[in-house]
Amino acid sequence: MDIVRIFDTTLRDGEQSPGFSMSVPEKVRMARQLESLGVDIIESGFPIASQGDLEGVRAVCREIRSCTVAALARARRDDIDAALDGLAGAAHPRLHTFLATSDLHLHHKLRLTREQCLEAISSNVRYAREHCAEVEFSAEDASRTEIGFLCEAVGRAVKAGATILNLPDTVGYAVPEEYAAMFRRVIDYLDGANGITLSAHCHDDLGLGVANTLAAVQAGVRQLELTINGIGERAGNAALEEVVVLLKVRQATLGVTTNVHLDQLYATSRLLTEITGAPVAPNKAIVGANAFAHEAGIHQDGILKNPLTYEIISPEEVGVPKRQLVLGKHSGRNALRATLVDLGYQPTQEELDECYRRVVTLADASKSVSNRDVLAIAHEVMRKRGSETAVAAE
């Protein structure tokens, strides 16, 4: 079974988005957790951006020993030198250099001709490879680059020494069929791309980040660039936790696996939330508060009988302590009975019916019912039974 390598860019693409900046100690703390999670590559920062980013890359390189550490650089000598400086202490360094290839970026942003772009790729990738054993080249805005020129650009990068080629959907413009077709064309152009790892990096501007990432895997891509909780520029990146669980759940169909330890996903997500102060949405897949919470009575009944009825993966497998049967106006008696038993009560059918009536009434008024509310209701109902028993005895 093919292994898809996971390239985590939480500390670079994720961290550079508004509201997610991290201090050097926070980057190191997050990097340690990413190493425990089992990612293959940690992109630690963009050293030319600031002295703080350079120090963050250096610190991560000193700390992380079991996986590759990458640093980003534009296809410019000064950028590459700064990245090499940051990577100097890494056990397994990777120089990640990029240049835009779409006509839109070349004309309006860089003021470069196509030929100047190709020359910059050749000279700078070659320079990077002379100083670092592993070089990745990214064709920024690849999904909006004319395919013939894109093939020529990545061909130049390979000839100059790049062994990893990233074709990002930089602005989240692609749809899955287009994105997969782009990779297939490039692989054909490179005669099967033997010895070259193709990489996908998808933004979520149209909500298609994970879908495009999946399409890339199906097209033969074997490195995925992702972030924890899907953080990143604008609408963010494809979320690491969503992609790796997708590959696990549909492994029989997709025929690939990863090195990620799924039971560390929830802890990693919580740590990022703690560091940045930015919580995930309750309905966020895998790590959201409601991802393994069930309120509807029909769903609760199914879960109690067999969790597979409404859960495609167990909460424990992704590090979530346990599922929740949330009591509300949609809940059923079976869920309430299970909650009461967990709280130490053994209700009769009559008591269960009375508790259920009171819970639904409370839920209609307050939208949610806590265990404390259930305890109060159960205590009152059970106390009534005790009083009636005492009167009957007299």
Rounded mean pLDDT for each run of 10 residues along the chain, 394 residues in total: 97 93 97 98 97 97 98 98 98 98 98 98 98 98 98 98 98 98 98 97 98 98 98 97 98 98 98 96 96 91 93 97 88 91 92 92 86 92 64 41
Helix pair 265-276, 240-249: axis angle to 10 deg? 170
Q: Cα separations (Å) of 214 from 14, 65, 323, 335, 373?
A: 20, 29, 27, 36, 44
- Residue in the structure block whose two tokens are 């424990």: 316
Of the candidates 58, 63, 62, 49, the one whose C-alpha atom is nearest the C-alpha of residue 21 is 49
Q: Architecture of domain 2-276 in CATH? A: Alpha-Beta Barrel (3.20)
- Residue in the structure block whose two tokens are 């963050």: 56
Residue 386 has a pLDDT of 58
Residue 366 has a pLDDT of 83
Residue 382 has a pLDDT of 87
For the chain, the domains span: 2-276, 293-393
Q: Measure the CA–CA gap between 90 and 80, rounded to whole angstroms.
A: 15
Q: Cα separations (Å) of 26 from 60, 61, 189, 197, 319?
A: 10, 14, 42, 31, 22
Residue 332 has a pLDDT of 87
pTM of the predicted protein model: 0.92
Residue 8 has a pLDDT of 98
Q: Measure the CA–CA gap between 178 and 183, rounded to whole angstroms.
A: 9
Residue 361 has a pLDDT of 92
